[in-house]
A and B are shown apart, each in its own frame.
Chain A
């Protein structure tokens, strides 16, 4: 393995994080908070280490799938480790493991918190929490690929390892260009969202922080009541934008490229919207009478549904009080997640579609054993490797899910809490059900469980395999 280029990439990632750390420092400057110096100091340290690393160019520029996986997973671990330091040093979270949980939760766009009272945090800490969502949403290495000629033409390996979905493709021939387009759409939509939130009467700090958090489909709130105290208009805007950020970015690219028809007929998007509408309909019917009137019901239900299916995790009401059928639907939505190629987590709608098609295929094979049949997705025939990828992903997902569930059950909480806590972390949702529902948080768990959940969040964000590659002894064998 080419260690020198991995070291080089990690140093660049650090330098990048240094740049990002300047943003909360700037926030601190605006609000006159002393915590800003810690951010500034950390930024300088990151620049220094990153700068030194950048000076020594890698000996070889070989960069292949293995290096891609390893550098992406390591980058995320380093990002999280460093991202936790401000919380720790400012004393906002006195325990480093808790700080790490918060930071991983931020970068993986989970939004699960160990804090009982977030309102006591300084503004810059609050902003850093939300801002990590934005970086994690589209991916830091994709951003680097957009700006730097990092690993030459081999950047695709980085992007494949970091981006979500069963098959990662390029929009345009060049990886750098693809990454720039993705980030262009992402930034544009974020800015637009912030402007709309401002117009809806939100305070500027809240608008920016909630804006970046929503864009990354993260879910860290600024208030203990999450998003409940914002105006109805703001909530509706958030609902719409959460759904928009949950749609495959290819759709927007096609839309801007003038292929409106193709964009509208995007298969995954249509299934995604059908699921959303069905869920809203069913829950509205089931929760009839919980809210004052029909309009409020629709508005509240669609906010929760959008928030859960896009794995953002904001809440405007405690759905833990809803009937169990509604909670069941929300749980299923947690697992499904939104579209591939978006900023959300979960299994992804496209994998669910492929899985259903495979089941249909298998049934048909049983009836006509000699039948030859292909699975199509987005009107293209799906290669066998993608089938296999989806199957193995689901198995690995299930295995990690059950194992994590078993380990955290040691802490002795009830079944619903444990089962949904793993779902909430592995799918990057944030709040679960029971004690970790919208009104609770993850501080109840012990250190071992927190470590497991940290692993789940990272594994969920990177779609399991990059992390497994990192853990496999095979990866580190000499001479391979």
Chain B
């Protein structure tokens, strides 16, 4: 697909990388020639220097043939203008990033009036994901399929867990749980486990199932499933604001610690129920006097990566609270992942993931029928959801008789309201939604799972 991306900052860069790897033809527009050159050199894409809102520049970037315009420059208004012009010049769909919260109430109006396909507020979507994560204190990461009816949870096996050192088949039977362990990461290696796989301490497991079943599973393996009642957020940026709003609506007490007095005043206006503390969130005494030792969730969301890491390391030492750390620089992922700082969030990835999900849905109408797709473990594993519309070779055949490719696992079949963890006798029917996990790349149809 032909895609034009306006702006190549962190999000633009990440998007360019992801989409070009998925085989799309990308043209990037940016007014900063140096930044543009860096991106063009790194990935197999074209670059155009200039103001992305100018119709000339857009034409030069080939907007007339493009299927999609993604505007992720630093300015909200420029993004909207870009999309408006692209819509008029070419005949493409448009996606704009709008960050300013004052436009929040107008999102639907703007979308309708300007004919935009999607407006994304990165802070808001990140906050949504964070709040979902806080709902499951034991999970590292939570993704959803089938509009939230099926969840994909990531969790780490701790010492003494009943999962340790046993065959998966026997453990799941013994625990009477209806979930599926669909992938295991051990020391950088990825396994798609079968029933004879043996789990070890320190493994990161991926579980697929209905939310209540997943809940049940966590409780049975002795992990804390009580919903948290209070959370502490250090840093008072946009994401913490949306997160606090989400959490407060879930009846969770929120403490926000922010350095800037002005921002504190703003936050206290926006969030009258939250406890806003003006002070240095990296100060040990301040944190403790505000009840660090008793909090159940802690979010390090400052602007400097190093501070977040230090803070989280300290907090991990003090409490067993659910811990979330924000990191900007993806480059040091390896080092970061070896540290015990809870769930690590890369905000630019969240935005990029959202947009690429939309693109997949677009492709879906044009051939591929993947509904949702997640990249797991540094893109080594893909988890995807297919909607079965028509008769094919996989439909109506018991799963045990299908000749699946290696490292492909059918995790969940959702039929009507039922969520089925499939066995060998089950079969896929028309109208089902099927979640498949694989280490292979480039699937676009359910039939691709066959040899």
Q: Which residues of A contact B (CB under 8 A)?
A: 1-2, 60, 62, 64-66, 477-480
Contacts and interface: CB of A to CB of B under 8 A. Distances in A.
Contacts of B229: 478-479
Nearest to A66: B289
A478 B290 CA distance: 12
A153 to B, nearest CB: 10
B248 to A, nearest CB: 14
B300 interface: no
Interface in B292-339: 293-296
A455 to B, nearest CB: 28
Contacts of A1: 291, 294
Contact of A478 (B230, B255, B275, B285): B230
Contacts of B293: 2, 60, 62
Contacts of B255: 480
8 contacts: A1-B294, A60-B293, A477-B253, A479-B294, A480-B230, A480-B255, A480-B290, A480-B291
Contacts, number: 31
Contacts of B290: 480
A479 B291 contact: yes
Contacts of B265: none
Interface of B: 229-230, 253, 255, 275, 285, 288-291, 293-296
Nearest to A67: B289
A65 B290 CA distance: 10
Contacts of B288: 62, 64
A39 to B, nearest CB: 40
Most A Cβ at <10 Å: residue of B255, B275, B290, B291: B291
A2 B291 CA distance: 9
B289 A479 contact: no
Contacts of A2: 293
Most B Cβ at <10 Å: residue of A66, A478, A479: A479
A478 B228 CA distance: 11
A473 to B, nearest CB: 12
A480 B294 contact: yes
Contacts of A477: 230, 253
A479 B291 CA distance: 6
Contacts of A64: 285, 288-289
A64 B289 CA distance: 5
Nearest to A477: B253
Contacts of A478: 229-230, 294
A60 B294 CA distance: 12
Contacts of B253: 477, 479-480
B75 to A, nearest CB: 36
Nearest to A62: B288
A289 to B, nearest CB: 61
A478 B251 CA distance: 13
B253 to A, nearest CB: 7
A60 B296 CA distance: 18
A13 B294 CA distance: 26
B175 to A, nearest CB: 31
Nearest to B321: A479
Contacts of A62: 288-289, 293
A479 B289 CA distance: 11
A417 to B, nearest CB: 43
A480 B275 CA distance: 10
A480 B252 CA distance: 12
B254 to A, nearest CB: 11
Most B Cβ at <10 Å: residue of A1, A62, A66: A62
A480 B274 CA distance: 12
A156 to B, nearest CB: 12
A2 B285 CA distance: 14
Given A64-B285, A479-B294, 15 more contacts: A1-B291, A1-B294, A62-B289, A64-B289, A66-B289, A478-B229, A478-B294, A479-B229, A479-B253, A479-B296, A480-B230, A480-B255, A480-B275, A480-B291, A480-B294
A65 B275 CA distance: 16
Nearest to A157: B289
Most A Cβ at <10 Å: residue of B230, B275, B285, B294: B294
B345 to A, nearest CB: 22
Nearest to A60: B293
Smallest CB-CB A-B distances: 7 pairs: A479-B230, A64-B289, A480-B291, A479-B294, A62-B288, A479-B295, A479-B296
A62 B289 CA distance: 8
B262 to A, nearest CB: 16
A312 to B, nearest CB: 37
A70 to B, nearest CB: 13
B272 to A, nearest CB: 14
Given A478-B230, A479-B229, A65 B294 contact: no
A64 B290 CA distance: 9
Contacts of B295: 479
B143 to A, nearest CB: 28
A479 B293 CA distance: 8
B289 A65 contact: yes
A334 to B, nearest CB: 37
Nearest to B292: A62
A479 B231 CA distance: 8
Contacts of A480: 230, 253, 255, 275, 290-291, 294
A298 B285 CA distance: 55
Nearest to A479: B230
A290 to B, nearest CB: 57
Contacts of B285: 64
Contacts of B294: 1, 478-480
A59 to B, nearest CB: 10
Contacts of A60: 293
A477 B230 CA distance: 10
A64 B294 CA distance: 14
A66 B286 CA distance: 12
Nearest to B291: A480
Contacts of B275: 480
Nearest to B255: A480
A62 B255 CA distance: 19
A302 B285 CA distance: 50
Most A Cβ at <10 Å: residue of B285, B293, B295: B293
B316 to A, nearest CB: 17
